[in-house]
Amino acid sequence: MISGAYAVATMAGVSAALLQFAGALKTAPALAWLPFDLTLAAMGATFLLLPAMLCIGGWRIGRGAALPLLAAAAIWPWWCVAALWSPAGDAASAKLAMMVLIGPPMLLAGLLIGADAAARRALSATVIVIAVLVGASVAWGLQADRVVLGGEVGADPELLRVQYQLAGLAVATAGGLTAVQVAGARGAAKLPWLLLLGLLCGAVLLPGGRAAFLALAMAVVVVPAWRFWLAGQSRAALGWVALAAMGGVLVVAVLAMDAGLLDRLRALTRLLDSNSQEARTMMWAEALRLSDWWGIGPGAYPRAAGFGDDVGMHPHNHALEALVEAGAPGLLLWVLAFGGAMLVLLMRGGRVAPGRAAVILALVLPMALTVMVSTDLSNRMAWFALGLALSIGVERVRVV
């Protein structure tokens, strides 16, 4: 008989995965018929299940996670204070609405779901299913000439660019999770996971997200090796790294023999695009130039940097965004919260089961890379990943 606590945790894990990658699922034509907004539906389900998970009880936060949690809690009121001198009132209000209203429950969701075994399994399994669906959808769309790289012909290119980046992020996250399964399986049980990993590695090259491509490469190499290392299997860890390096060399050799194939893989062509790299470097330099002790206020960077009211022209780096918009206090709080969370994950990983630590790292690593090169602090996905990282320091001491 399935207990109520197990059912609630499993549903929370599934709904959180749908919420985290709702933007990726929206790239699938098969879901275009939905008569409702998938993001709002998944958010409603997740947030309704959180009180039930809390009421189950038995939660205990370790000392290591306390400081990053306090810093994260202080980010929201400080950004509200910094909004008092922001010259971009509408942009500040919109940004704070996402940060202050959506950020806290997303962080809580990551904490509880990452700490509960049933919820964590459901989250991981659903992410893999989402990635398979999204990857197959993008591949089919390209093969059938239903989409171009970057979205449907005639549609909003900016919106579709973001959606296809999210598709790549979902595939990268699933790739890390699948690599963990490969490392944990024995004998012939490795084969289906290896096949799935190969398919995901190919799928991440299609949408055009450079961060997703790099995230998957890092996750496939680092996460399983870390799992082996935590389990005391240092030789297996080194062997995995060597095997992954050999696989990378093989892929490069195949691409070198077929120039036409390289042209069709959007992620690689964008990775080699110097113009986009220069644009990001320019935004980072401008953020450093505009920074001062107290910041210029939430949402003020695009206008101050000469980009007008385009909210998408944020610094594309969380740390620089915190510095330029919330000043030195904002940067300090961000380092304590997000940097502290990664430190907690790495330091406390050896105190929990290696499989649990590896799964959490696989779920967090792609988003950790993304916040340093792409998204901004109003992105709910970043707050969920923060909660997942800190969940390594949360335990269930009583299960009903």
Question: Other C-beta atoms within 10 Å of 36: how many?
Answer: 7
- 20, 49, 102, 251 from 380: Cα distances, Å: 8, 17, 7, 34
Which residues make Cβ contacts (< 8 Å) with residue 232, sequence separation at least 6? none
* Predicted pLDDT at 174: 94
Tokens 């799935």, located at residue: 196
**Confidence at residue 223, expressed as pLDDT on a 0 to 100 scale:** 95
| Cβ-proximal residues to 338 (8 Å cutoff; 6+ apart), any chain | 68, 318, 371, 382, 386
Per-residue pLDDT of 107-147, as tens digits, reads: 999 999 999 999 999 999 999 999 998 888 776 766 655 55
CA dihedral 271, 276, 279, 285 (to 10 degrees): 0
Over the range 70-96, which residues count as b (16 or more CB within 10 Å of their CB) and which as e? ebbebbbebbeebbeebebeebbeebb
Q: Does 207 have pLDDT greater than 80?
A: no
> Residue 43 pLDDT more than 90?
yes
Instruction: Domain ranges for the chain, please list them.
Output: 4-396
* Residue with tokens 């971009």, as numbered in its chain: 88
Chain segment 8-21, per-residue pLDDT in tens: 999 999 999 999 99
pTM of this prediction? 0.90
pLDDT band of 209, cuts 50, 70, 90: low
Whose structure tokens read 């130039």? 289
Q: How confident is the model at residue 360 (pLDDT cuts 50, 70, 90)?
A: very high
Binned at pLDDT 50, 70 and 90, residue 6 comes out as: confident
pLDDT at 3: 73
195, two tokens? 């096949």
- Do the Cβ atoms of 384 and 72 come closer than 8 Å? no
Q: What is the pLDDT of residue 185?
A: 86
